[in-house]
Structure 1
Amino acid sequence: MNRQSRPRLLLPPPPAPRIGPRPLPLHLLTHLATLWGSLSVLPLWKKGSLSWKPHLAEPASRLKASLDAAGPDAFARFEHALTAEAGRRHAAFLNGIESYRHHPYRRALPPPPEAWRRGSTRLLDYRTDAGADPAVPVLVIPSLVNRAYILDLTERRSLMRYFAARGLAPFLVDWDVPGPDERDFTLTDYVLDRLEPMLERVAALCGRPPVLVGYCMGGLLALPLAQRRPDSVAGLALLATPFDFAAGRAAVAPLLLALEPVLGAAIDRFGCLPVDMLQALFAALDPGLAARKFTAFAHLKPSSARARDFVALEDWANDGVPLAAAVARECLFDWYGTNAPARGAWQIDSRPVLPEEVRGPTLAVIPGHDRIVPAESALVLAERIAGARVKVVAGGHVGLLTGPRARTDVLAPLVRWIRRRYP
């Protein structure tokens, strides 16, 4: 066969660039405003009319005196250096974003079988051998605002596969995007129409009540389930679960209530709280986080395990889920706005959700450096459940599950605690 007649090898097209980090315009504008804001105050500083925070006044005064003593051209050189540094930092941020958007990693874990489905909600069965001797059943409940696969992120970083490998019978609630059936859902609907039937399904498959493991908002949804169905729940584990929404974040409530007319109108207009609006609210908790993360990522070797782990986590973070309109109002304005759970005013099916009414064994795992759920907020919940055990661990909200010490500090102790529910 001559060279001209050989068939050409058709390679698959490269994957489309990612759209994140979301919302990308907000992250870019925030970084630019931070950098160029430093330049905008230089004329005021040169005139000596800039008011400093008390703890910065003395070093700022020393720096200005040093520049004045260096001669008339010193300030111009300083301005030039500051401008160059601002440009360098923004270029590094952009490089990190581009490296992320074109990274070859794509999540490709085999999906587990479904054990139950209603509407867009699925119950995923992670048991390694459904026909084996009865194992301890575990129903894992994630948040409604992010994809459930944070609990099954990669082969190495998967709470669900870790549970299964250690002989438990784990099931994961996958909420997915609200569809026509969930468009008008409230939190009561999610508990009564989804969680309670799934609880019964797991018990029927395994022959005994499961232990509930709730992560973040999923812990708050597990709480009324344990309160309403004490005989159907063998134990309750709460991972980074908020409850007192004023603890550690006193400034959030007045801001959200002030924004309620605008946010409420947007929720009504879209019929949900869109993903990018939700991501913008999360970004406001730490406006500089995106720049720090992606600038550091730009220096990683793309083929390294650290780079792949970063991309896997960022893909999940940017793969958000909109909240149904009524649920969004409950979470934003009742939870964060008026602190209804801590006040005893949050209700499921007209019944107040009261931690004091939870009687079963309870474990609260609380990250000590959580930007999403301050430790004070989670501690209040544990203190109000009689006999609850508290385990404070290092790390943050997501590192609790995916960080380098997650297995030793969180997963292994959690498995031991779960196993004790069925001695």
Structure 2
Amino acid sequence: MDLIPKPDQVVAAAGNLAHKVLYGGLADLRPMPRTLIDEGTLREVYHYRPSATAQESGDPVLLVTPLAAPAICYDLRRGCSLVEHLVTEGRPTYLLEYGEVSFKDRNLGMEHWIEEVVPTAIRETSAHAGGRQVHVVGWSLGGIFSLLTAASDADLPIASLTIVGSPVDVSLVPLVAPLRPLLNWIDGRGPITGGYRMLGGAPKPLVKWAFQLSSFQKLVTKPVAKVAHFDDADFLAQLEAVDRFTANMIAYPGRTFGQLYHRFVKGNAMVNGTFEVGGRELALADIGVPVLVFGGANDGIAPVPAVRALVPLLTGSPDVRFEVVPGGHLGMLTGRAARGTTWVVLDEWIDQWSSDRAEAATAQAAEPAPSAGTPAIGTGARRHGSKSSRALAK
């Protein structure tokens, strides 16, 4: 809105205010319809119902939720929902979430997710989709879990991995870097260690506060931005959706929180490409599927350098692609700009590594070679390597 509002801006702002008063908000927060297909201890796998306007076909996409974050990260609001986008495109779309974490779950460690929850979800998704290979998409810690799961079991039916905002080199995270010398100095004897052991994990209020702290600048400037955009219904709707997301943070199980705190925050355990889980050392170099990595241009939780550090570690992957896209930690996944950036690249990636395309390529290769002087179709295709980036943040 201009410093001196124009008549149309005043009318739009008045309409937005009236809508908020009458209906309680501007955002369409209806969840996309889904059906539970599998469940276990802190494991719920859902299949989103196909769109009435697009027939479901092709390889399935499995969205892996990070711990502590609600699954609405993928289905934030209508118009800014990755789930809605995938379903509308006709892709078989699945979601892995974990349900409510309680005190009784305090002894569950990371191996529960890496050796049981995520692999089972991948297998169940593949089975439900007719035995097809699965395109796994993981945001934040969901990306870390997806990487370690793929490194742990090469026989899983994974077509490709997409990692969104997952920091591998924690020393490059500005919020954590200044604290690491202190954390290493107290060597696990400080209040954080004692606190999570006593409480059985990181409680909801603490998780919510940590997420808000990472976006402190936006939190401070939010009232000003709200007034400045009061004529922009889509902007205000996005704020409402993000507020709902933050209010629904979930607790961390105690042992898992301890492992993350000691190994990731203090020990920066994955920076060299290996991680110990359940007595086994997993190596990212053992991942043998294509990997797409996204870094958010304004991400304070997982800055671009901390995420880019993953790329040189994926030496066993047949193709690694790194993309910088607009947005912060959540915005890069499901912000307003993601509709024309992150989602577009993800669509291209899934199509590139779909089993339908591979079968078509195999069939084409089996056909007789074209006569001399006739160019073969498709020979001009360009492949994006690990150093490529469209710099979509610009």
Identify whether the pair has TM-score above 0.5, normalized to the shorter chain. yes
Aligned partners of 1:216 and 1:241 also within 8 Å: yes
3-state DSSP class of the match of 2:136? strand
Give 1:393's match in structure 2, choosing from 309, 321, 325: 325
Structure 1 gap segments, 5+ residues each: 1-98
In structure 1, how many angstroms separate the alpha carbons of the residues matched to 2:202 and 2:226?
30
* Residue 80 (structure 1) aligns with: none
Aligned pairs for 1:78-157 (under 5 A) are 104=25, 107-128=29-50, 134-157=57-80
Query: For residues 180 and 119 of structure 1, do their structure 2 counterparts lie closer, same or farther at Cα, with a shift above 3 Å needed?
Result: farther
Q: Structure 1, residues 306-350: CA drift from partner, whole Å, max 9, x if none?
A: 212201111101211110011111112210111011145632232
Aligned partners of 2:32 and 2:75 also within 8 Å: no
Aligned partners of 1:242 and 1:378 also within 8 Å: yes
Q: Structure 1, residues 57-81: CA drift from partner, whole Å, max 9, x if none?
A: xxxxxxxxxxxxxxxxxxxxxxxxx
Query: For residues 317 and 258 of structure 1, do their structure 2 counterparts lie closer, same or farther at Cα, with a shift above 3 Å needed?
Result: farther
In the alignment, is residue 405 of structure 1 matched against residue 337 of structure 2? yes
Query: For residues 270 and 180 of structure 1, do their structure 2 counterparts lie closer, same or farther at Cα, with a shift above 3 Å needed?
Result: closer
Aligned pairs for 1:153-232 (under 5 A) are 153-179=76-102, 182-206=105-129, 207-231=131-155, 232=157
Aligned pairs for 1:35-114 (under 5 A) are 104=25, 107-114=29-36
* TM-score of the pair, normalised by structure 2: 0.75
Give 2:180's match in structure 1, choosing from 247, 253, 257: 253
Amino acid at match of 2:160: G
3-state DSSP class of the match of 1:341? coil
**Aligned-residue offset at 1:201:** 0.5
* Residue 63 (structure 1) aligns with: none
**Aligned-residue offset at 1:407:** 1.6
Amino acid at match of 1:391: E
Q: How many residues align?
A: 324
* Residue 226 (structure 2) aligns with: 297
Structure 2 gap segments, 5+ residues each: 1-19, 358-394
Choose between structure 1 and 2: higher helix proportion: 1
Query: For residues 273 and 258 of structure 1, do their structure 2 counterparts lie closer, same or farther at Cα, with a shift above 3 Å needed?
Result: farther
Aligned partners of 1:125 and 1:172 also within 8 Å: yes
* Residue 327 (structure 1) aligns with: 256
In structure 2, how many angstroms separate the alpha carbons of the residues matched to 1:305 and 1:286?
20
In structure 1, how many angstroms separate the alpha carbons of the residues matched to 2:349 and 2:273?
29
* Residue 158 (structure 2) aligns with: 233
**Aligned-residue offset at 1:127:** 4.2
Q: Structure 1, residues 12-50: CA drift from partner, whole Å, max 9, x if none?
A: xxxxxxxxxxxxxxxxxxxxxxxxxxxxxxxxxxxxxxx
* TM-score of the pair, normalised by structure 1: 0.70
In structure 2, how many angstroms separate the alpha carbons of the residues matched to 1:211 and 1:203?
10
Amino acid at match of 2:339: R
Aligned pairs for 1:304-383 (under 5 A) are 304-344=233-273, 346-383=275-312
**Aligned-residue offset at 1:351:** 2.3
Amino acid at match of 1:358: I
User: Identity percentage over the alignment?
Assistant: 20
* Residue 419 (structure 1) aligns with: 351
3-state DSSP class of the match of 1:320? coil
